[in-house]
Structure 1
Amino acid sequence: MRTLLFTGKGGVGKSTIAAGTAALAAERGLRTLVLSTDAAHSLADALQTPAGPEPTPVAERLWVQQVDAQLRFQQSWSVIQGYLLSVLDIAGVDPVAAEELTVIPGAEEVLALLELRVQARSGDYDLIVVDCAPTAETLRLLALPEALGWYMTRVLPVERRVVRALKPVLTRATGMPMPENTVFDAIERLHQELDEVHDLLTGPDASVRLVLTPESVVLAEARRSHTTLSLYGYRVDGVVANRVFPAGGDDPWLTGWVAAQTEILGQMAESFAGLPVWTSPYRPSEPLGAAVLTEVAKEAYDDADPVAAPVGADPLRVTRTAGGSVLHLALPNVTSAEVDLARNGDDLVMTVGAYRRLLTLPAGLARHQVVGARVDQGELQVRFEERS
């Protein structure tokens, strides 16, 4: 099953391109679900059809779903939240304030991804198109499963053993209820489900597609998004330049815009070298409805297969050398000076700008030492050798 995520700066037409791609795939014979995890749902508006928390048929082989993030949050977080509320109640916190304090900012959008897991496991679809939240929220959303995995493997087992051994003493000493096994079980279940989502989205049949308009500020954010998505191991398979003005005409205002966009499109080709860059022209009226959106996608992708499996090397791979190994991680649009590396036990800590990834090294590499690193042609290469 193919999974395709669309993201981009707010207002660039991300939902339009996602819905059009899904509609075109359905027309070409694929059972397709287009699913929105964006709290500000607009898929139903774009497709001009009612949509709800369950897949709703739009056309032949095409379904739409707008995930109820609040419902998904309650299903996955209620046990954990119940324990936290009991602690805050004993501490004398106002119930309304306590409920707000037990909701992690952005958690609803993150847990909405669990619906992707459910639909992927159903076997009902050949393609799932995900209309993600704007870029910043998407990056936070895609970084969480691996970060939670680090906590689960290192911190939670210790906490569980300590609570089991000292629960009576801690309860009497602090007056606070200690978490029951059901709380730990809920956390572990949530981790397992998010881990499955992570495996799905970093697998060979999944990729992310960036949507942008040809403007300097938007291009700059898209470049950073490409770097950060690659840092977390997600494969970007292409870029859609939306709302491109057609050339021609004597209107000086339009001529100015065409010239400015042409310059940005040139920079775009350089910024995303090696990736397909599709263009979708500015239309005389707002594209609405499955039929119109299908035409938008046909014009944008031309003769290309819009859902072809991503090609090229895996974003994260290890190669063997005579003296050890090299870890390769796709990291476009940065230089060696912009990457900070540190080794912490079995973890490789990689920082690029405001984003950090703790990569747990495979057993074969964990026994080796880092002897050098560089960024070469959009790829971070970390050299390991056996400890002397």
Structure 2
Amino acid sequence: MRILLFTGKGGVGKSTIAAGTSALAAAKGQRTLVLSTDAAHSLADAFGAQVGSEPTQVADNLFVQQVDAQLRFEQSWSEIQGYLLSVLDVAGVDPIAAEEMTVIPGAEEVLALLELRLHALSGEWDAIVVDCAPTAETLRLLALPEALGWYMQRVFPVERRVVKALKPVLSRAAGVPMPEESVFDAVERLHFELDEVRSLLSGPHASVRLVLTPENVVLAEARRSFTTLSLFGYRVDGVIANRVFPAEGADDWRAGWVRAQDAVLAQVAQSFAGLPVWQSVYRSGEPVGVDALAELAADVYGEDDPLAAPQGDGPFRITRNHSGAQLSLALPFVSRAEVDLARNGDELVLTVGSYRRLLTLPSGLARYRVAGARVEEGELQVRFEERNT
């Protein structure tokens, strides 16, 4: 099964490209589901069809879903929310305000990822195409499973034992209800499900495609997104430049746009060297409906397979050598000065810009010492050696 995620700066046309890719995949005989983690839910508009909270068939082999966030929220968060509401009630918080305070920021996107997990495990689909939220929200979302994993490994077990041992005392002393075992079970279940999502999306059959328009500001954001996606172990397998002005028959005004876009497209090719860069020309009309979307995607991909498996080892790999091992992590567009690296027990703490990743070392590396690190040709390389060498 193939999983494709599409993201990009808001307004670049990622929903249209995601819908077109799914329509083309279905036309080629692949049983395809396309769903949205974007709260705007533009897929129904793109297909010109009524779409429900369950997979809705819009063509042969093609199904579209807009996740019922309220239903999924009740299934995955209600136990935790109930406990938080009881605490806020004791604190005298207004019930309406308390309910708003206990909703996860970006809950709809998180729950759409849990829906993706269910569909991936079902075995019903040859391809799942995800129309993600704009890049900033997507990056925060994809960083969530690993951040929750750190909490579950380091804090959660201790917290659970303390509450269990001191629950009667704490309840009387603080006057605040302590969480029941069912609340801890719900947190544990949410972590397990999100960890499975992370494994799916960082696995060999999943990848991200960046959608951009030929503008310098948009390109700058796409470059940053490429860096951050790589930092968290997600593979980018291509870039789609959307709304490219055709050079033929251009009047003076459009000719100026063509020249400006050509300059940016040259930077795109240089920035994402080694990745396919597809182009989608600016059309006279908006593509709406399955046929129009499939035609757009056929023009974009040409002879290329829109579901081609991603190539290479991915952004993260470990290689052994005679003196120890080397951990390599792709960090495109980053210099050594922009990377902060620290060792904390069996973790490497990587900070790039405003993003931090706590990378738990495999057991085979945890007993080694860090002998050196460098950034070379867009890749962080960390050398490990035996402690007695």
**Residue 108 of structure 1: how far off its partner (Å):** 2.6
Counterparts of residues 83-122 of structure 1 (less than 5 Å)? 83-122=83-122
Alignment of 1:19 with 2:10, yes or no, is no
Structure 1: 4+ residue segments shifted above 3 A: none
> Distance in 2 between the 1:342 and 1:111 partners?
33
Native 8 Å contact 2:234 2:314 kept in 1: no
Give 1:227's aligned residue.
227
- Residue type of the alignment partner of 1:151: Y
- CA RMSD in angstroms, aligned pairs only: 0.9
**Residue 248 of structure 1: how far off its partner (Å):** 2.7
Native 8 Å contact 2:239 2:275 kept in 1: yes
Give unpaired runs (5+ residues) of structure 2: none
CA shift in 2, pair 1:180/1:248, >3 Å = same
Provide, for residues 308-355 of structure 1, a one-character-per-residue CA deviation record: whole Å limited to 9, x for no partner. 000012221111121111101111111111111111111111111111
Give 2:239's aligned residue.
239
Native 8 Å contact 1:39 1:69 kept in 2: no
Give 1:159's aligned residue.
159
Q: Secondary structure of 2:179's match?
A: coil
> Distance in 1 between the 2:359 and 2:72 partners?
28
Give 1:186's aligned residue.
186
Give 1:212's aligned residue.
212
> Distance in 2 between the 1:386 and 1:122 partners?
44
Native 8 Å contact 1:2 1:206 kept in 2: yes
State the identity %: 75
**Residue 94 of structure 1: how far off its partner (Å):** 1.1
> Distance in 1 between the 2:55 and 2:44 partners?
12
> Distance in 2 between the 1:342 and 1:286 partners?
50
- Residue type of the alignment partner of 2:348: L
The answer to which of 69-78 and 167-176 deviates more is: 69-78
Q: Secondary structure of 1:238's match?
A: strand
Native 8 Å contact 1:248 1:255 kept in 2: no
Native 8 Å contact 1:73 1:112 kept in 2: no
> Distance in 2 between the 1:144 and 1:325 partners?
29
Give unpaired runs (5+ residues) of structure 1: none
Native 8 Å contact 2:243 2:282 kept in 1: yes
Provide, for residues 62-93 of structure 1, a one-character-per-residue CA deviation record: whole Å limited to 9, x for no partner. 00011122322222111001001101101111
> Distance in 1 between the 2:287 and 2:54 partners?
24
**Residue 371 of structure 1: how far off its partner (Å):** 1.5
Q: Secondary structure of 2:285's match?
A: coil
- Residue type of the alignment partner of 1:43: L
Counterparts of residues 27-106 of structure 1 (less than 5 Å)? 27-106=27-106
**Residue 250 of structure 1: how far off its partner (Å):** 5.1
> Distance in 1 between the 2:10 and 2:73 partners?
24
Provide, for residues 110-139 of structure 1, a one-character-per-residue CA deviation record: whole Å limited to 9, x for no partner. 122000011111111100000000101100
Provide, for residues 182-226 of structure 1, a one-character-per-residue CA deviation record: whole Å limited to 9, x for no partner. 000000000001111111001100000000000000000000000
> Distance in 2 between the 1:119 and 1:309 partners?
19
> Distance in 2 between the 1:11 and 1:250 partners?
24
TM-score w.r.t. the length of structure 1 is 0.99
Counterparts of residues 1-388 of structure 1 (less than 5 Å)? 1-249=1-249, 251-388=251-388
